[in-house]
A = this chain, B = another copy of it.
């Protein structure tokens, strides 16, 4: 039995999200169909580092699958890409130890959120960048961003539907970059709750519009109540940019 770790890029626009479901086109479902065609193993299963919502993109999602198929590891990306629809791309495949699990062993994740702070969005970016016509105050947003850093209970900053045991997560950094009308928000953390990045970004937008004061972030965290934070930013501006592992522990030398 082999365990293979994939690096996956996708355009989330026409997917119902990562998770396999009976109706709706999912990324997991599409890749599993491809794995079945490649391995001929009807019960092949793909384990992602985490789910992404409908419309969310990935520059480097990670997922692993176990197989008895003896295809050379270097041929896996081409073999999969040649049969898969072109809005999913296998960037890389690595042989990892059988104990490796893409979700459990993720050390950190980085999400990128793209905003165009301008009256009109570019037609070519309508599924890629969130357009906000009203001017954002970036220095206020950067101040607010600093309050997210560290270990906190993020109950106020995730979907009320989130059912995980503990809502405590560690955010390593929240950086805001501006170049003319283009704003990028990069959020790096140990892991994220359901909708957490989108609620953090939505709240930062409310800070940028002076609806929330930067220093209110701490009291919102303390209240542990989703209704205290800002809105959920739309999915199409969000990109899963990186998932990190201690690869030296897991990678098999081929």
Contact = CB atoms under 8 A, between A and B. Distances in A.
Interface of A: 9-11, 57, 59, 77, 81, 86-89, 91, 120-124, 126, 128
A122 B124 CA distance: 15
Contacts of A87: 123, 126
A231 to B, nearest CB: 21
Which 10 pairs of residues, A with B, have the shortest CB-CB distance? A89-B123, A9-B123, A11-B124, A11-B123, A86-B126, A10-B123, A87-B123, A88-B123, A57-B124, A9-B122
A77 B121 CA distance: 13
A123 B121 CA distance: 21
B124 A128 contact: yes
Contacts of A59: 124
A86 B128 CA distance: 13
A120 B121 CA distance: 28
Given A9-B122, A89-B121, 8 more contacts: A10-B123, A11-B123, A11-B124, A57-B124, A81-B120, A86-B123, A87-B123, A89-B120
Most chain B C-beta atoms within 10 Å of own C-beta, residue among A57, A77, A122, A123: A123
A202 B89 CA distance: 26
A11 B88 contact: no
12 contacts: A9-B123, A10-B123, A11-B124, A57-B124, A77-B120, A86-B126, A87-B123, A87-B126, A89-B120, A89-B123, A91-B120, A124-B128
